[in-house]
Homo-oligomer: A and B are copies of this chain.
Amino acid sequence: MRLVIANCSVDYIGRLTAHLPMAPRVLMCKADGSLLVHSDGGSYKPLNWMSAPCSIVEEAPDATQADAGVTALWRVTQTKTGDQLLVTIGEVFSDHSHDLGKDPGLEKDGVEAHLQKLLADQIELLGEGHALVRREYMTAIGPVDILARDETGASVAVEIKRRGGIDGVEQLTRYLELMNRDPLLAPVSGVFAAQEIAPQARTLAEDRGLRCVILDYDEMRGVDPRHMRLF
């Protein structure tokens, strides 16, 4: 890992063309050859970058460039796509390197899978008398998040999302189209369950006769599943 703080301008030519005027920035050179150009704002996305695998070649500035204050040129080339990043470096304020070694990596917990598990344990959130058939019910075009039965015994397919968008509605629609061709399952109704549902997604879902259910993650987490089994 090499961290350089320097005045620089950057030109990218690849899937698009982009240019950064000369300004003070941070250049982060990672061990795999990748390069990130960060400013002092924005979020975690760099202003510009090159992903590994790539190679960095340092070139000497020509006389004209040197006169203009250019101290170095970095030509970064993507090995596979040929995308190029040209970093023109002026005054260097700081330049430090350190070997970090391989990172042990991030341990995550608590996303869509968790919501699915919670809803499976608290399936009556869909309505009284609902019963779980199974999670990840397999169909020809993929697994439905939850298959349940309502109080009349009719099949209910549930699509779970953290944020419900139009794509989720489409996904559920495809599943229902398929499942309703199966005489053993049909008629199958659809439930679109999410922590939030975009207005347009809700409109589309309701237009297609899909029920929308908002899931309160904190509340669901607070309920002890063992308690549920008493009922």
Interface residues of A (CB under 8 A from B): 1, 3, 5, 15-21, 23-26, 28, 30-32, 34, 36, 38-49, 51-52, 93-94, 96, 98-111, 141, 162, 167, 170, 200
Q: Which of B21, B43, B106, B109 contacts A47 (CB 8 A)?
A: B106
Contact B44–A45 (Cβ < 8 Å): yes
A160→B78 CA distance, assembly (Å): 27
Contact A30–B41 (Cβ < 8 Å): yes
Q: Closest 6 interchain pairs by CB?
A: A39-B103, A40-B100, A31-B40, A16-B110, A24-B100, A21-B104
Q: Which of B15, B96, B106, B162 contacts A48 (CB 8 A)?
A: B106
Determine the residue in chain B with the shortest Cβ distance to A114. Answer: B16
Determine the residue in chain B with the shortest Cβ distance to A10. Answer: B106
Determine the residue in chain B with the shortest Cβ distance to A111. Answer: B16
Known: A5-B96, A5-B100, A20-B105. 10 other contacts (CB 8 A): A1-B38, A17-B108, A23-B104, A24-B98, A28-B28, A32-B41, A39-B100, A43-B51, A43-B52, A94-B96
A99 CB contacts on chain B under 8 angstroms: 24, 40
Q: Which of B20, B51, B105, B107 contacts A104 (CB 8 A)?
A: B20
A23 CB contacts on chain B under 8 angstroms: 100-101, 103-104
A17 CB contacts on chain B under 8 angstroms: 108-110
Contact B200–A103 (Cβ < 8 Å): no
Given contacts A3-B26, A5-B1, A5-B3, contact A49 B44 (CB under 8 A): yes
A52→B45 CA distance, assembly (Å): 13
Contact A106–B170 (Cβ < 8 Å): no
